[in-house]
């Protein structure tokens, strides 16, 4: 009887906590300019701050997203440029990240997820097919034209594919975490260190040992 009576209270507590949990904690001051010269001898959840009296307007601005990335650096044909505490020290503790995605003609930002953030992507140039898969394996896709936006819920596997075979595409995205994390689905399975056992991959994907070797080779695993 005691266990049964505590269950409703437990569910209420979980619901309340769920409503309070945020991707990143709120800052305790107006700003926390990242100290990019701080010692790396210890690790904290974030980056140490400089003296607020030393803050300058240059700490709050960056041109990092103004330059196109090298889309030929990987076999998928995409490049991601992120704001971080090195190129934008003033965004430390603000709980957000901005990203520029350059996608070559017929290039693909392959299936991936951000475990700590939701993402809103706005297409600036080109034509993109984007989509995500929910935990019921439902696929939500949309064709984007310049000016269109699409939201990828936190933790959901998603992709961006450039439908144009001649012209590149450019996307500007915002994520609600200073460190959203990125995990490519394919490399997470086939390019781990150390390697996942072949039998695990063969059974999980219903493929042969030769398939495992070929995929690993293609992904650099």
Residue 70's alpha-carbon distances to 67, 88, 103, 183, in angstroms, are 10, 21, 9, 20
Highest CATH level, class, for 29-35+46-178: mainly beta
Note the pLDDT of residue 17: 45
Residue 46's alpha-carbon distances to 22, 35, 42, 51, 58, in angstroms, are 15, 11, 11, 16, 20
Whole-model pTM: value is 0.83
Note the pLDDT of residue 139: 98
pLDDT over 80 at 34, yes or no? yes
Q: How confident is the model at residue 37 (pLDDT cuts 50, 70, 90)?
A: confident
Note the pLDDT of residue 47: 85
Q: 68 is written with which tokens?
A: 């196109």
pLDDT over 60 at 15, yes or no? no
Torsion of CA 110, 85, 27, 121, to 10 degrees: -30
Residue 59 annotated in ligand binding: no
> Using one digit for the tens of pLDDT, what is the confidence trace for 54-63?
999 999 999 9
Residue 199 annotated in ligand binding: no
Note the pLDDT of residue 3: 47
> Using one digit for the tens of pLDDT, what is the confidence trace for 99-116?
999 999 999 999 999 999
Residue 166's alpha-carbon distances to 80, 106, 178, 216, in angstroms, are 20, 8, 34, 29
Q: Among 156, 144, 140, 151, which Cα is nearest to 175's?
A: 151
3-state secondary structure 157-211: EEEEEECCCCCCEEEEEEECCCCCCCEEHHHHHHCCCCCCCHHHHHHHHCCCHHH
Alpha-carbon distance of 32 to 148, in angstroms, equals: 33
pLDDT over 90 at 25, yes or no? no
Q: How confident is the model at residue 44 (pLDDT cuts 50, 70, 90)?
A: low
Pairing verdict, β 97-103 and 139-144: unpaired
pLDDT over 50 at 1, yes or no? no
Using alpha carbons only, how large is the chain's radius of gyration in Å?
A: 21
More confident residue, 61 or 21: 61
């Amino acid at each position: 009887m005691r266990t049964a009576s505590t269950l409703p209270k437990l569910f209420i507590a979980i619901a309340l906590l769920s409503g309070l949990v945020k991707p990143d904690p709120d800052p305790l001051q107006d700003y926390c300019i990242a100290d990019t010269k701080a010692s790396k001898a210890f690790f904290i959840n974030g980056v140490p701050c400089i003296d607020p009296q030393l803050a300058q307007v240059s700490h709050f601005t960056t041109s990092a997203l103004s330059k196109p990335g090298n889309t030929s650096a990987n076999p998928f044909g995409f490049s991601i440029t992120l704001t971080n505490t090195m190129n934008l020290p003033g965004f430390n503790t603000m709980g957000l990240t901005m990203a520029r995605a350059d996608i070559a003609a017929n290039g693909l930002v392959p299936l991936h997820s951000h475990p700590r953030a939701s993402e809103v992507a706005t297409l600036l140039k080109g034509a993109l097919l984007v989509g995500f898969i929910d935990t019921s394996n439902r696929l939500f896709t949309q064709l984007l034209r310049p000016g269109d936006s699409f939201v990828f819920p936190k933790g959901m596997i998603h992709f961006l594919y450039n439908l144009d075979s001649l012209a590149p595409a450019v996307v500007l995205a915002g994520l609600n975490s200073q460190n959203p994390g990125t995990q490519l689905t394919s490399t997470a399975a086939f390019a781990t260190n150390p390697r996942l056992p072949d039998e695990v991959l063969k059974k999980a994907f219903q493929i042969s040992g030769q398939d495992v070797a070929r995929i690993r080779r293609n992904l650099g695993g």
